[in-house]
Amino acid sequence: MTKELSPDMVRRTFDKNKLKCKSSQDVSPLEDIVGQDRALKALKFGLEIKEKGFNIFVAGFPGTGKMTAVKSFLDKLAEDQAVPPDWCYVNNFQEPYEPKVIKLKAGQGRVFHKDMTNFLNETKINLPKAFESEDFAIKRESTIQKIEAERNKIFSELNRKAEKEGLIVQSTPMGFIFVPVVSGRPMTEEEFIALNPEMKEDIQKRRDKLNSELRLVFRQLKELDTKTFEEIKELNKEVALFTMGHLLEDLNKKYSEYPEIISYLKEVQEDILENIPLFYKPNVPQAPVQAPWAEELPFRKYMINLFTDNFNLSGRPVVVELNPTYQNLFGRIEKEAQFGMLTTDFTMIRGGSIHKANGGYLVIPAEELVKNLFSYDGLKRALSSEEAIVEEAGERLGFITTKGLRPAPIPLNTKVVIVGNPMIYQSLFSLDPEFKELFKVKAEFDINMDFNDDNVKNYVSFICSLCSKEELLHLDSSAIAKVIEFGARLADDQEKLSTKFADIADVIREANFYAKQDKNNVIKDLHIVKAVEEKNYRSNLIQERMNEMVTRGFYLIDTEGEAVGQINGLAVLSMGDYAFGRPSRVTATVNIGRGGIIDIEREAKMGGNIHSKGVMILGGYLAENFAQDKPLNLTARLVFEQNYEGVDGDSASSTELYAILSALSEVPIKQYFAVTGSVNQKGEVQAIGGVNYKIEGFYEICKAKGLNGKQSVLIPRSNIQNLMLKEEIVEAVKEGKFHIYSVDNIKEGIEILTGIKAGEKGPNGKYPEDSIYGMVDKRLRTMAEKMENSPDEKEKKNNH
């Protein structure tokens, strides 16, 4: 049944007396106010289940507050959970290119780092003191003297044997030689040359006899040198161990529950004892002054790399990585320039977000993750292997072949939450087989929630929370009512509220600015209205210019009078941040033929597939209603006049059908009407999108050309629940300056547009002659007869 809508049907208002917002009001956490029970239930399930692969993808459109809600939910969940362990990298004294990793209780990593730093500093101070002490000097001198005595004894024995042969031992740069003795003194070289051959031969025989003794002495002296070195070394070790032994003993006792640390401390002790000259270099000339980093360089191998420090955490970590590049996510191995070369060591291993979140939760925006393919691939690898590895991306891909560090992997126990729009989820799910194995939980955020008392309370709670958190002026009850109505407007539904809290928050922030300009202590309804209007004004330049083209006659739109085969259709143009309704003139022409309904937009390749489908449906409707007793010998042409950017969607299919019925019946359509709605083959008018924009777009044109009290919009009845029109239009409807009608089917619509009954078939299967459908049927019958009696048809029959 045709019905004109009353003012209370075109916009849902809210009783401001039910609302209250005070700075002292208790506010709920964001996760309790966004109206996303389904998503939060899925999120909770994904976080509680421990099995592998149950990571979470939170899907939702921008502005629904999904990232804020997820972060808030995780923070609340994590604060009561156990803090994960610390991780430290230490030197691998056997394989320096493969640093070891040590796991400690939360907060103990920092303590261990401090203890080892103190140990190193004390060792660097105490060892030189010990080696410079009088006690060490006495022990060292005693050891050296003892060995020197043995050396002297060996030389004395050798000299005795040489003297017995008339020779003495002399030391030369070439080593030890035997020299003949003459008159108690060594023979000179000139004297030796002057000797006769027999004497030379005799001396040489005596030398050869003693050479075997000399070789034995050499071995003994070498053994003595080795013995000296070993005994001095053992003495040094004894002193060093005595000096740092109590420090190591304290550390061993303190970290007795960590076998890895006990083993590491033992390796540190052995390495220090083997490298005592690092700490004490006696009798070494003063070296030039070095940079501090150069002086500390040799001691780095005893330092601790506190890789993951959870000292300050009170629960599990929640890490949000907004820029998930490979290095930000998986860490890096830094390098520094030393003496013209780039070098690195285990102290320059730096963790990424996945290491900081180990034992907790890692949140990543999907849009940023898929931009970094190495990151996405690395994340899948880490989740599959349950290990976090620090390595260069180039090394992983085989692009880098230079020798570098290969740190030990760290066991990974992180729940990953990817936040993104549904299109990314569908693409990854369809194209990547590994994705569905690693992200088995989908938590989907809705863009709307039910308009009920509970969610209204949640809206109020959100408003109060925002005002308190950002130190904005609070809203009075009238302003809150306007915000709630704005939420319904964003949802395009009287029974829903939008969950696009980003847009709602922006309106409140802007209203706060205007309230402060007016020197008010609260935000009022007029400030909310102004914020919405000013936001639209900043973006509606294109709409104003198009409306101006209508008023100046460049763009032909009639808002009064009548015309045959002509009607005002409605479309929505979106400019990204702003959408508005645009009226378009739709015309139809008919003639005898077999072309059917020709969509000029499609023929010109300016029509989309959905629009073409809508046009084809019109043929089915005409055939069912008018071609049961005769052929449909019709060629009808439809076009959106002055349309240069293309058409898609089926929301104008009812409009086009009205134009065809008018052209066939030759009954004019009232041009002060604009129409929207799709139609099916049975003539039922179906719901469309953007109904508020469409009505407001036609109203703006009518207002610009002058309201005459007749202008109206015809919409599907099923779209009444979507009406949240501007208050200006509500007032115009209330004053009778503008009208909105709803219809269920084409017959109801054509009656409103023409003022003539559509007509129903009688018992004889005929429509009343004075009805629209009767006139259409008569016209189609006449066209069929003319077609049948045309010369071409008669010739075809004769030929047949």
Residue 342 has which token pair?
Answer: 């780039």
The neighbour count for residue 202, using CB atoms within 10 Å, is 14
Question: Is 24 a residue whose pLDDT tops 50?
Answer: no
54-80+314-445 in CATH: which number? 3.40.50.300
Question: Is 5 a residue whose pLDDT tops 90?
Answer: no
CA pair distance 33, 533, nearest whole angstrom = 27
Computed over every residue of the chain, the mean pLDDT equals 83
| Mean pLDDT to the nearest integer, 534-562 | 88
Examine the residue annotation and report whether 694 is marked as an active-site residue of this protein: yes
Q: 715 versus 651: which is more confidently predicted?
A: 715
- In order, the DSSP letters of 321-355 are -SS--HHHHH-EE--EEETTEEE--GGGEE--HHH
Residue 357 has which token pair?
Answer: 């979140």
86, β-bridge pairs? 104
| Mean pLDDT to the nearest integer, 334-341 | 78
**Contact between 538 and 493 (Cβ < 8 Å):** no
What's the pLDDT at 335?
A: 84
Question: Is 288 a residue whose pLDDT tops 70?
Answer: no
Q: 319 versus 205: which is more confidently predicted?
A: 319
| Mean pLDDT to the nearest integer, 44-55 | 88
**Contact between 717 and 743 (Cβ < 8 Å):** yes
Which of the following is catalytic: 301, 694, 726, 747?
694
What's the pLDDT at 33?
A: 44
CA pair distance 693, 460, nearest whole angstrom = 27
pLDDT band at 29 (very low <50, low <70, confident <90, very high): very low
Angle between helices 746-754 and 653-665 (to 10 degrees): 60
What's the pLDDT at 448?
A: 86
What's the pLDDT at 645?
A: 74
**Can you give the residue ranges of every domain in the chain?**
15-35+448-538, 54-80+314-445, 85-312, 544-793
CA 452 to chain centre: 33
User: What angle (nearest 5°) sits at the alpha carbon of residue 19, between those of residues 18 and 20?
Assistant: 135
What's the pLDDT at 207?
A: 67
Examine the residue annotation and report whether 142 is marked as an active-site residue of this protein: no
* CATH class entry, domain 544-793: alpha beta
Give the HSE-up count for residue 364: Cα atoms under 13 Å, Cβ half-sphere.
Answer: 31
CA pair distance 221, 256, nearest whole angstrom = 46
- Of 42-46, 359-363, 747-751, least confident by mean pLDDT is 42-46
Residue 314 has which token pair?
Answer: 């009170």
- Of 21-30, 377-386, 428-437, 502-511, least confident by mean pLDDT is 21-30
**Contact between 39 and 9 (Cβ < 8 Å):** no
CA pair distance 341, 338, nearest whole angstrom = 5
Condensed to tens digits (0 to 9), the pLDDT of residues 710-765 reads: 999 999 999 999 888 888 899 999 999 999 999 999 999 999 999 999 888 888 88
Q: Which residues contact 441 (CB under 8 A, 6 or more apart)?
A: 42, 43, 45, 46, 49, 54, 55, 56, 57
- In order, the DSSP letters of 548-598 are HHHHTTSS---SSSEETTEEEEEEEEE-SS-EEEEEEEEEEEEEESS-EEE
Give the HSE-up count for residue 780: Cα atoms under 13 Å, Cβ half-sphere.
Answer: 28
Condensed to tens digits (0 to 9), the pLDDT of residues 392-442 reads: 776 666 666 667 789 999 999 999 999 999 999 999 999 999 999 999 999
Q: Which residues contact 9 (CB under 8 A, 6 or more apart)?
A: 720, 723
Which of the following is catalytic: 72, 375, 477, 651?
651
What's the pLDDT at 622?
A: 85
CA pair distance 349, 136, nearest whole angstrom = 40
CA pair distance 302, 660, nearest whole angstrom = 90
**Contact between 720 and 688 (Cβ < 8 Å):** no
**Secondary structure, 3-state, 685-728:** EECCCCHHHHHHHHHHHHHHHCCCCCCEEEEEHHHHHHCCCCHH
Domains 54-80+314-445 and 544-793 fall in the same CATH topology: no
Burial class (CB in 10 A: 0-12, 13-18, 19+), 76: middle
Question: Is 293 a residue whose pLDDT tops 60?
Answer: no
Condensed to tens digits (0 to 9), the pLDDT of residues 54-103 reads: 999 999 888 888 888 889 889 888 988 999 999 999 999 999 889 999 99
CA pair distance 94, 99, nearest whole angstrom = 10
- Of 46-50, 234-238, 676-680, least confident by mean pLDDT is 234-238
Q: Hey, what CATH topology would domain 15-35+448-538 get? A: Helicase, Ruva Protein; domain 3 (1.10.8)
**Contact between 702 and 738 (Cβ < 8 Å):** yes
Question: Is 224 a residue whose pLDDT tops 50?
Answer: yes
Amino acid at 356: K
Strands 579-592 and 634-640: antiparallel
